[in-house]
Amino acid sequence: MKILLIHNKYQHKGGEDSVFEDEKRLLESQGHQIITYMRDNEEIHNYNFFQKLLFPFRTLYCRKTYKELDHLIKKETPDIAHFHNFFPLISPSAYYACKDNKVKIVQTLHNFRLICPQAMFLRDNKVCELCLKKKNSFCAVKYGCYRHSKVLTFILALMLKIHKKTFMNVIDHYIALTDFNRNKFIEAGFSADKIIVKPNFIVKPIPHGSKKEDFGVYLGRLSEEKGIATLVKSWELIDFPIHVFGDGPLKKLVENKPNVIYHGQKPIEECLDMIKKARFLVLSSECYEGFPKTILEAFSVATPVISSNIGNMKHIIDGKRTGLLFSPGDPDDLRRKVEWMIAHPKEARQMGVNAFNEYKEKYTAEKNYALLMDIYSKVRKQRVLLIHDQYVSRGGEDSMFLMEKDLLERKGHEVIVYSRDNKETERYNWIQILLFPFNTLFSVKTYLDIRRLIKYRLPDIVYFHNTFPLISPSAYFACKGVPTIQRLPNFRLICPKAYLFRNNKICELCLEHNNPFIGVKYKCYRNSKILTFLVALMLKLHDKTYKNRIDCFLPNSQIVKDKFIQAGYDEKKLVVKPNFTEGDLEPTFKKGKFAIYVGRLSVEKGIHTLVAAWKGIDFPLEVYGAGPLKSLLMGHKNIIYKGPKPNDECLKRIRKAKFMIFSSEWNETFGISMIEAFSVGTPVLASRIGNMKYVIKDGVSGKFFEPGNIDDLKQKVLFMIRHDTVLMGKNAYKDYLDKYTPDVNYDNLITAFENAKN
């Protein structure tokens, strides 16, 4: 993988710089190609007067950064961009350079910079969450939280205000170091789904095993927020040495104190060697720490940690298992915890062992690399905008929409949904009713909604299911610049009725004459000439919209593909992707002595033919569904009408049935119940019409009869009753595994996504 690492180095090298270098080396050691874009705060010292004058504005948006990154990305084409620190030189312009080049972005949240001007929720050396609670970073200006300057704090707060949507929407995923940090960002309004916890790690731990010596260690900055005053006060009554490493404004507090041995700033190797030998490490912070590496360094050499119970610490240190926690700012509580650790050397050693095991389990380079790759994998998954207009009576298209949404989410994609519901029309006032036909032709609301979604959510692909009547073709115009796919479960784009069906018979007049207005004469849509005219007008006006603005079509069957080719659609854009079913039930080949029908009870479904054929057949037929021809089922000895039932109940009966009947007399595009039967090993007896001939293999996974032919249906039913259908059921199940599982469907979908993008 080619990874672009972006980081603004601090003037005084700190933990973030170390983590950046550690991750860079780790990724390189695993064979990844690393490109870096870095700026260094030391640059500021060399600025002339004008550069210093412009510096605050460049913090808001730096064109130099944008141009340099844009050039670098075009040259190197990275797979992913991983940000560490962008402040102050790089600026948020870097995110837009990545966005405009369609590079996915990961941001490590080392601190709270995106929601707090001071970055650590600290004011006057005390924890302060005022900006977070009020969701207003300008609260900090009054107190001059950034570098004790109201002007600088205002500029920083302005950056956070201007780029709030940048941070929330342009960045694809965030890495929080602990659950505590993650929860703070969620509280600030960031999406919980986009924040993944990945702690820091140690690249090469110091080998441990030497005997612990009688002293403690403090390693860190000597300042008020680090709790140095609390540490020194507590040690006044502790007769046990502590070695202090570090520098800062309060270093005089640790000089010449009994049992406090001050070493000043020392090389990290010398400090780590002392931690390795120490009985315990003390971390006395009174502010929210990010993720102190000294804790991991102590864990890696089996040294337990005594820490203040604030912020992240309780998420890192397990009290009485890997260390002890004391109340922040309470010297008496710290003294009690230190004295307990001194008085219980055996328990302290066990804590050290537990700490080392914790390190091995969570904080090694190997563990961290696996977490990082998992995050990169999730980010590289395409972000999909699903668009669907729900029907008043929920049907197969609505079910397939939800199934594909769930499938994409299970596979790690971020799914954005834009959905409208035809039930909205039931609440329309008279003005909305008057405008409704025109909105069907082009909905301004839809256009603006989707443009806004695309601008802020940045989908990689837009996948349309149904756009009629509320969403309208305006949605396709809104998706300019984003690859689009249109699922074709019916003939809506070429036929006002959507099913090439009229007066309960197949009708292809509009298709044959390439003129949807033919449907007006016959009132094909909802038995209304006016409504049919409006639908035909939509099809005529937007014929080129469909053919030119949609990048790829997914007909759910070969027959749908053939009809759209006949209507003048580009064959190269039409990729057959059949429906699928979850296959929740295991198949069985020990079948019961009954047949089953599941579906609508109407003429086009061939119910009249099925009932007539069943006369004289001494074999039970269970019927599930509802519709206008329900009365035909009554009074028949061997037809057992069960009414409409939940899908899972129907599937259990399909699983037990000897065979299923599919008696349609119209160009059924894809009967989902067929593949549900296949998924439980039940063969299908179907009319040879529409897509059935592409799904069922005659004599292999089922049998065919001629549509509307009562005698032929009766003969095939008797054949299925008298013969063993187990082999057919096994072949049907094999077809399901080969063609109609969620995994097969997902592979087909990803292929379609790539086709659309190319």
**Average pLDDT value for residue range 253-281:** 93
The pLDDT tens digits for 512-528 are: 999 999 999 999 998 99
* Model confidence at 200: pLDDT above 80: yes
Q: What is the pLDDT of residue 669?
A: 85
Reported as a single tens digit per residue, the pLDDT across 389-442 is 998 776 778 889 999 999 999 988 889 999 999 888 889 898 888 888 899 999
What local confidence, expressed as pLDDT, does residue 107 receive?
Answer: 97
pLDDT at 120 over 70: yes
Return the pLDDT at 690: 86
Q: Identify the pLDDT of residue 726.
A: 95
Rounded Cα–Cα distance for residues 691 and 672 (Å):
11
| pLDDT score recorded for residue 642 | 95
Helices 63-76, 93-100: axis angle to 10 degrees equals 30
- pLDDT for 615 beyond 70: yes
Per-residue pLDDT reduced to its tens digit, 676-727: 999 999 999 999 998 888 899 999 999 999 999 999 999 999 999 999 999 9
Confidence of residue 342 (pLDDT cuts 50, 70, 90): very high
Task: With cut-offs at 50, 70 and 90, classify the pLDDT of residue 755.
Answer: confident
Say whether pLDDT at 14 is over 80: no
pLDDT of residue 691: 87
pLDDT on residue 336: 96
pLDDT digit string, tens, across residues 585-610: 999 999 999 999 999 899 989 999 99
Contact present, 594 and 621 (Cβ < 8 Å): yes
In the predicted structure, residue 739 carries a pLDDT above the cut 80: yes
What value does the mean pLDDT of the chain take?
93
Band of pLDDT at residue 205, cut at 50, 70 and 90: low
- pLDDT of residue 260 exceeding 90, the answer is yes
Q: What is the mean pLDDT of residues 305-317?
A: 93
DSSP 504: T
Reported confidence tier of residue 210, pLDDT bands at 50, 70, 90: low
Q: What is the mean pLDDT of residues 31-53?
A: 91
- Region 659-683: mean pLDDT is 92
Segment 366-395, tens digit of pLDDT: 999 999 999 998 888 888 999 999 987 767
pLDDT at 505: 84
Q: In the chain, what percentage of residues exceed pLDDT 70?
A: 99
Write the pLDDT tens digit of every residue in 531-585. 999 999 999 999 999 999 999 999 999 999 999 999 999 999 999 999 999 988 9
Write out the H or E segment, with its range, that includes residue 243.
strand 242-245
Among candidate residues 514, 553, 552, 557, the one with its CA nearest the CA of residue 536: 514
Q: Could you tell me which residue, 209 or 146, shows the higher pLDDT?
A: 146
Predicted pLDDT of residue 3: 97
Residue 219 has, within 13 A of its CA and on its CB side, a CA count of: 25
At 537, the amino acid letter reads L
User: CB–CB of 687/599 below 8 Å?
Assistant: no
pLDDT value at residue 397: 87
272 vs 207, 293, 294, 302, CA distance in Å? Answer: 11, 11, 9, 12
What CA–CA distances, in Å, run from 395 to 43, 392, 566, 600? 63, 9, 27, 11
Q: Which residue has the higher pLDDT, 73 or 11?
A: 73
Question: Residue 547 has what pLDDT?
Answer: 96
3-state SS track over 374-421: HHHHHHHCCCEEEEEEECCCCCHHHHHHHHHHHHHHHCCCCEEEEEEE
pLDDT value at 207 more than 70 = no
pLDDT at 674: 92
Q: Say how far residue 287 (Cα) sits from the centre of its chain.
A: 33
* Digit-coded pLDDT (tens) for 312-321: 898 899 988 9
Residue 49 pLDDT > 90: no
pLDDT in tens, 465-500: 999 999 999 999 999 999 999 999 999 999 999 888
pLDDT of 206 > 70? The answer is no
This prediction has a pTM of: 0.71
- pLDDT, residue 53, reads 87
What lies within 8 Å, CB to CB, of 454 at 6+ separation is: 385, 462, 478, 479, 482
| For residue 587, cis peptide bond before it (omega within 30 degrees of 0) | no
